[in-house]
Amino acid sequence: MVAADHLLPCSSNPAAVGRRRWSAVAPRRLAALVAVVVAALQLVGIGGAVAATPISDPTNVQVLVNKQRPLNPLRYVPPDLVWGPGGHQMRSVTSSALGRLYAGAAAAGSPLATVSAYRSYDQQAALFASYVNQYGLAYAETISAHPGHSEHQTGLAVDVGNADGSCFGNTPGGRWVAANAWRYGFIVRYPNGYTAITGYTWEPWHLRYVGPALAADMRNRGIATMEQYFSTPPRPAFATAADLGAIDPAGTLWSYPATGRGTLGARVAVGTGWGGVTSGAVVDWNGDGRLDVIGRHTDGTLWFYPGRSTPGLGAGVLLGTGWNGWAITPGPWVNGRATSIIARGPDGVLYQYPNVGNRLGARTVIGRGWGTMTTTMVDVDGDGRQDLIAKRTDGLLLLYRGNGAGGFVPEARAVLGRGWNGISSVSVVFGFAGAGSTGVLARTAVDGGLSYYPLIGGRFAPRILVGSGWSTYRILT
């Protein structure tokens, strides 16, 4: 195991961590993410709730430490460090709570182990510098903190893993932690789908001790991050990877913020004049940690609309022409690379178009014989590599597992579902049913019903009806 902010859930490549839509996947220039790191409580459906005052005292277990809020003093050392479970230093209050959490996990059949805990300012500086040297500054800032900005320096953060050393996020141990950490005063500090808020990729192993009161309050109120709990600034167009975008018949683009409890909140208008967009997707295209929109217009042009830290989207940037008749699926197809586009041409050939400087690079053929199948990109099996779910015209859903290097695992294709020929739209969402959850929102063509299909253990669980009346909307994937 490695003493790092960013552990490896199933792959030796840090970029293989379970990705969000798709703000957690590509390298990000998070230096520009100043105003986004905090987000509105409203985005999780809290309505008019009043935000708590951020805590700055480093000895307080509720201290808020992030990219914009360094420790004070910068070289703070906790006065009550002890050797906790697993032989790692941490604050005494963290150690006691962690011991109880480990006992609970073991009793549930999911024994856990400590991988990393307290790190000094100098240790964090060396670790961050090593990531910069290995991956470059932009990507390093999504997986590790600058010295003085790390939760590990507080002695309140612990990276945990399965006792057998296996991958974590989508294992029974990872799921137990996501569901039960709050009972012991911990939260999963960087949940899936909240990169635009926290500034970090999903870290299902990174537990932060905040005390039983705050952990329970966050859970009861459906608040996923400390940034949301303590702040209420203007909300971006798409603040989390659980939000849904849809264009109405009048050409207005709407954002439907997810509550984090399996429902959608009151919609917010993103902009008008979207009537000419025939299909689109919400994705972090330019790697700045904000969710953008890729849209194809009736004239076959493909455009990139950058997300902002404030409501609305930036001016469109032309990516290409001649895209009519193509099925487009943006996402982090190649581990460690920027978000790219998987596109199925009218001839059934499947291509990957890499993102080169926020433009489309030279395409590569990755498959043939795809006919008129439509695709959805998501890490189905939780191995840290993106997969494609292909829907055939007969309604059969097939799983094409990705190898993380731009191709597919050579194997017989597993069947994920049947009877999906009546589904007219599929959108991948992260955190829709709570921190750490993954699934899809699917619309039924015949009645416009919108349902949530949780993805659990590499399979779809029974659907949950979210709403109706979506027939006339063009839903972004």
Q: Which two tokens stand for residue 101?
A: 């959490």
Query: Which residues 6+ apart lie within 8 Å of 12 measured at CB?
Result: none
Query: DSSP character for 461?
Result: P
**CA distance readout (Å), 243 to 111, 190, 285, 437:** 34, 17, 16, 13
Residue 322, burial from CB neighbour count under 10 angstroms (0-12, 13-18, 19+): exposed
Dihedral sign computed on CA atoms, order 427, 28, 307, 340: negative
- Cα separation, 259 vs 432, in Å, equals 7
3-state helix vs strand vs coil in the chain, percent to 5: 20, 30, 50
CA proximity to 256, closest of 81, 450, 439? 450
Please check whether residue 364 is in contact with residue 344, taking contact to mean a CB–CB distance below 8 angstroms.
no
Q: Which two tokens stand for residue 22?
A: 């798709």
CA proximity to 124, closest of 144, 139, 140, 141? 144
CA 124 from chain centre, in angstroms, equals 24
Q: Where in 74-147 does DSSP place strands (E)?
A: 81-84, 88-91, 112-116
Please check whether residue 364 is in contact with residue 375, taking contact to mean a CB–CB distance below 8 angstroms.
no
Neighbours of 310 (CB within 10 A): 12
The helix/strand/coil state of 149 is: coil
Q: Which two tokens stand for residue 252?
A: 């207005």
Query: DSSP character for 145?
Result: P
Please check whether residue 207 is in contact with residue 188, taking contact to mean a CB–CB distance below 8 angstroms.
yes
Please check whether residue 449 is in contact with residue 465, taking contact to mean a CB–CB distance below 8 angstroms.
yes
Is residue 141 part of the annotated active site? The answer reads: no
Phi then psi dihedrals of residue 274, to 5 deg: -100, 10
Choice among 141, 151, 203, 227 that is catalytic: 203
State the catalytic residues.
203
